[in-house]
Amino acid sequence: MSIHVEQAIIHEISQDGEGQLACRLRPQPLLNGQAVEVMLEELHQTYSSKAGKGFGYFGVPEDDGDANPAFEEALTNYRSNEMGFVEFSSAAVKLLQQELAKYDFSQGGFLLLSCYTSITSDYLFVAMLNAKSSMTVLDDMELTQNNHLDLSNIQLAARIDLTEWQADETSRKYISFIRGRAGRKVADFFLDFMGCVEGVNLKAQNKSLMVAVEDFVASGELTKDERQQCRDKVYDYCTNQFDSGEDVQMKDLADELADDGMDSFYDFATGGEYELEEEFPADKSTLRQLKKFSGTGGGVTLSFDSGHLGERVIYDPISDTIMIKGVPANLKDQLDRRLKGGN
């Protein structure tokens, strides 16, 4: 196990026949320690591997200047031992019920709250889980239908780094959350019930880092191989940070590049117009552009390793054309067969 679960509980928000939401509260934490550990380990891994998460903090939104501090206050009381975990979780699910009551799209679900430790940080995991129907074969080979929690398809979840929250008052990224499929707006109510405001723009920070790297390699007297080596080094470092659940540290990244003789990257990237934070979460989908070029449009999809540009792949911006030398074997086979067919 990569985590140690301290407390976990599940409450239910359900809809009655008249469409009114009601809470069914569990009076004590979950007791089956092994089942809880297995469930939270799976959720921890699933959540950590989710790409494109948003990051925020407890605060006041800039658009309307109003925020509900009740969740933060309850969490503060729990962490200071003025409130028990069950009492805190009950207050949280009631806040969620009140928020959900403002909308007409929810039929409720199971609210899971768990405090656990991973590596050196304490976390509070908050997730809305749904039940999923499945079929089971009994011992007498008879079929029966039952419901189970859908742990692999979490869409409404947030994780609070309690250690960072209590250690750094200036942090704007101690709360991470899953973005909805159509953008953050899908999960607004889930963040609102916690009083969470988006802080660090993950995509913007990683895009700025990528631009800084490209400007850096273009400004120096580096060979083509050295430029690509720099891009690969940045991508590998950021990927390792993402996989280990750690933030990109600009000082550490600069030190990685300094080992290869590129010792001015830190001053270049942080002293210019890139507006990079000292540390921020990595976004592999954005930084992948350091390794690959890809694009889709007009029925054409093209992707290739950036190292091929200028060699196997020749781009002419004036004529708006790309020439590929050495067509991939499987594509060549498809094209040859189509040509033999007379088209």
pLDDT tier at 343 (50, 70, 90 boundaries)? low
pLDDT tier at 134 (50, 70, 90 boundaries)? confident
Q: Are residues 250 and 177 in the same domain?
A: no
Q: Which residue has the higher pLDDT, 268 or 107?
A: 268
Q: Are residues 154 and 46 in the same domain?
A: yes
Q: Are residues 220 and 105 in the same domain?
A: no
- Asked whether the whole model's pTM tops 0.85, one would answer no
Q: Are residues 186 and 331 in the same domain?
A: no
Q: Quick one: pLDDT at residue 169?
A: 87
Cα–Cα distance for residue pair 204/287, rounded to 1 Å: 11
Whether the pLDDT of residue 197 is over 80: the answer is yes
CA dihedral 271, 273, 278, 284 (to 10 degrees): -130
Q: Quick one: pLDDT at residue 25?
A: 92
Q: Are residues 270 and 240 in the same domain?
A: yes
In order, the DSSP letters of 281-308 are: ---HHHHGGGTEEEEEETTEEEEEEGGG
Whether the pLDDT of residue 122 is over 50: the answer is yes
Least confidently predicted of 28-42, 59-73, 102-116, 164-178: 59-73
Give the domain-ending residue among 198, 217, 236.
198
Q: Quick one: pLDDT at residue 277?
A: 87
Whether the pLDDT of residue 262 is over 60: the answer is yes
216: left (phi over 0), alpha (psi -120 to 50) or beta: alpha
Mean pLDDT of 308-331: 90
Least confidently predicted of 84-93, 161-170, 332-341: 332-341
Residues spanned by the domain of 266: 202-290
Least confidently predicted of 142-151, 179-188, 252-261, 265-274: 179-188
Mean pLDDT of 190-201: 87
Sign of CA dihedral 41, 44, 45, 47: positive
Whether the pLDDT of residue 63 is over 60: the answer is no
The domain total for the chain is 3
pLDDT tier at 66 (50, 70, 90 boundaries)? low
Least confidently predicted of 3-7, 132-136, 307-311, 318-322: 132-136
Q: Are residues 100 and 148 in the same domain?
A: yes
Q: Are residues 162 and 271 in the same domain?
A: no
Give the domain-ending residue among 198, 221, 245.
198
Least confidently predicted of 26-40, 56-70, 161-175, 185-199: 56-70
Q: Are residues 275 and 298 in the same domain?
A: no
Least confidently predicted of 4-18, 32-46, 156-170, 172-186: 172-186
Give percent above pLDDT 90 in the chain: 38
Q: Are residues 269 and 187 in the same domain?
A: no
Whether the pLDDT of residue 241 is over 50: the answer is yes
Q: Quick one: pLDDT at residue 101?
A: 84
Q: Quick one: pLDDT at residue 183?
A: 47
Could you report the per-residue pLDDT of 148-174, keeping only the tens digit for each?
A: 788 888 888 999 999 999 999 889 899
pLDDT tier at 181 (50, 70, 90 boundaries)? low
Q: Quick one: pLDDT at residue 182?
A: 44
pLDDT tier at 212 (50, 70, 90 boundaries)? very high
Q: Quick one: pLDDT at residue 314?
A: 92
Give the domain-ending residue among 198, 224, 254.
198
Look at residues 303, 295, 307, 291 and name the one whose alpha carbon lies nearest to residue 237. 291
Cα–Cα distance for residue pair 256/250, rounded to 1 Å: 10
Q: Are residues 67 and 14 in the same domain?
A: yes
Q: Are residues 229 and 309 in the same domain?
A: no
Q: Are residues 35 and 118 in the same domain?
A: yes
Q: Look at strands 156-161 and 54-58 and give their pairing.
A: unpaired
pLDDT tier at 194 (50, 70, 90 boundaries)? very high
> If you search the block for the tokens 């590049």, which residue do you land on?
257
Tokens at 273, concatenated: 């117009």
Whether the pLDDT of residue 61 is over 70: the answer is no
